[in-house]
C-alpha cells in the first residue's frame, strides 16, 4: 500500500504544486518580477488581423503572456490586442526582443524606443537580446541595464545564449539576465544549459516547444498522449512545465491556442517524464 512515508514527503509536495498550476500561474524571476508560466508565441504569425485575433483570443481565454520580437514585424498587432483586450495593462506580460543589427549601446536604446512605439505601450515587461552577437554583447547588455534602471522594462534577459555567453555577462555585470529563451523540447533536451541556468537563477524559457510541428507524429509522444487522453502538443507543453520552464507555443488558430492551454488538468508520471527525456537527439529546428 502507498503511504506518505513510502512516496516521500518531498515528492508529495512537488505533486501538490504541479497539480496547482493553472494558465495564470507565475514563476518569480531573479529580480522579483512574476512571469506567467505559459505564453503565446507569435513568430511567423502574419502581420495584421491574424496576429491581432490570435492574441485577442488568447487573452480572452486566459493567457496573460505574449512573446513577440522586433524581427517578427507584428509588435503593433500584439500591442493593439492588449490595449483592446479590456484587461488592466499590469495583468498582461509582454516580451519583445532587440534584433541583431540593432545591438550596441546607443543603437539598443534607440531600437527599444522604436519597439515601444510600435507596441503602443508605455513599458515592456521583458526585453531580450534576441541572439548573441560577437563583440557587441557587453555594450548591448549595458544598454539593457539602463532601460531597466529607467523603468522602461520590468526585466531584461537573453535568448539563444549558450553557457559561455551567459558567463560573459555574469562575470562582467552586477545585473544578470532573468531569462534565457532557447529552443527546448524533449528532442533538444539541453541538460547542461538547464542545470547552469538553474544554478545561476536564470529562468529558462522554452521556444519552439512543439518542435515547430516536426515531431508531433513521433510514436512515443503519441503513445504517451493516448495514455493521458492528450495530444502530442499538450504532452510537449506539459513536459516543459514539469521541467520548471516557461513555455511559449505558437499558434495562429483558435482551436490550437485553446488546446495548448489545456495542460493543467493532468500530470506526467515520473516514468513518462524520463521516457520523454530519453528522446533527446539534439534536434534544432531554428537556426540564425
Q: Give catalytic residues, as residue numbers.
A: 72
Identity of the residue, 14 or 50, whose beta carbon is nearer to ligand NAP in the bound complex: 50
Identify which range of 27-35, 37-45, 104-112, 114-122 contacts ligand NAP by CB under 6 A: 37-45
Given 47, 259, 262, 280, the residue binding ligand NAP (CB under 6 A): 259
CA–CA gap between residue 57 and residue 84 (Å, rounded) = 11
Q: Cell triple for residue 200?
A: 545561476
Burial class (CB in 10 A: 0-12, 13-18, 19+), 72: buried
Kindly determine how many residues on this chain lie close enough to bind ligand NAP according to the rule CB under 6 A. Answer: 28
DSSP 8-state assignment for residue 23: T
Identity of the residue, 86 or 164, whose beta carbon is nearer to ligand NAP in the bound complex: 164
CA–CA gap between residue 183 and residue 215 (Å, rounded) = 14
- For cell 507596441, the residue is 119
Task: Note whether 38 binds ligand NAP by CB under 6 A.
Answer: no
- Cβ-contact 159, 128 below 8 angstroms: yes
Task: Note whether 61 binds ligand NAP by CB under 6 A.
Answer: no
* Min CB(60)–ligand NAP separation in Å: 17
CA–CA gap between residue 90 and residue 81 (Å, rounded) = 14
Q: Cell triple for residue 245?
A: 520552464
Q: Cell triple for residue 138?
A: 557587453
101 Cβ neighbours under 8 A, 6+ residues apart: none
Task: Note whether 279 binds ligand NAP by CB under 6 A.
Answer: no
Identity of the residue, 14 or 254, whose beta carbon is nearer to ligand NAP in the bound complex: 254
Given 36, 41, 157, 225, the residue binding ligand NAP (CB under 6 A): 41
Identify which range of 28-36, 110-118, 193-201, 243-251 contacts ligand NAP by CB under 6 A: 243-251
* Min CB(6)–ligand NAP separation in Å: 37
Interaction site with ligand NAP (CB under 6 A) = 41-43, 67, 130, 159-160, 181, 207-213, 216, 231, 233, 248-253, 256, 259-260, 286
Amino acid at each position: 500500500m502507498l503511504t506518505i512515508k513510502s512516496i516521500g514527503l518531498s515528492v508529495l509536495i512537488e505533486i501538490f504544486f504541479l497539480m496547482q498550476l493553472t494558465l495564470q500561474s507565475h514563476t518569480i524571476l531573479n529580480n522579483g518580477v512574476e512571469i506567467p508560466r505559459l505564453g503565446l508565441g507569435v513568430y511567423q504569425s502574419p502581420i495584421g488581423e491574424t496576429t491581432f485575433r490570435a492574441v485577442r483570443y488568447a487573452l480572452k481565454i486566459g493567457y496573460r503572456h505574449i512573446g513577440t520580437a522586433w524581427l517578427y514585424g507584428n509588435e503593433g498587432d500584439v500591442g493593439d490586442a492588449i490595449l483592446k483586450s479590456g484587461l488592466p495593462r499590469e495583468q498582461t506580460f509582454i516580451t519583445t526582443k532587440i534584433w541583431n543589427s540593432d545591438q550596441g549601446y546607443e543603437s539598443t536604446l534607440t531600437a527599444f524606443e522604436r519597439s515601444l512605439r510600435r507596441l503602443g505601450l508605455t513599458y515592456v515587461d521583458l526585453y531580450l537580446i534576441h541572439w548573441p552577437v560577437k563583440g557587441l554583447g557587453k555594450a548591448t547588455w549595458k544598454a539593457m541595464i539602463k532601460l531597466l534602471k529607467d523603468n522602461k522594462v520590468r526585466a531584461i534577459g537573453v535568448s539563444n545564449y549558450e553557457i559561455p555567453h551567459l558567463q560573459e555577462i555574469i562575470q562582467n555585470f552586477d545585473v544578470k539576465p532573468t531569462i534565457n529563451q532557447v529552443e527546448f523540447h524533449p528532442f533538444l533536451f539541453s541538460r547542461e544549459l538547464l542545470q547552469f541556468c538553474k544554478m545561476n537563477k536564470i529562468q529558462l524559457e522554452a521556444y519552439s516547444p512543439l518542435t515547430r510541428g516536426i515531431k508531433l507524429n513521433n510514436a512515443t509522444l503519441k503513445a504517451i498522449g493516448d495514455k493521458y487522453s492528450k495530444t502530442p502538443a499538450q504532452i510537449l507543453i506539459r513536459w516543459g512545465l514539469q521541467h520548471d520552464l516557461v513555455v511559449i507555443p505558437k499558434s495562429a488558430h483558435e482551436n490550437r491556442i485553446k488546446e495548448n492551454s489545456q495542460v493543467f488538468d493532468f500530470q506526467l508520471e515520473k516514468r513518462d517524464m524520463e521516457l520523454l527525456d530519453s528522446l533527446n537527439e539534439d534536434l534544432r529546428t531554428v537556426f540564425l
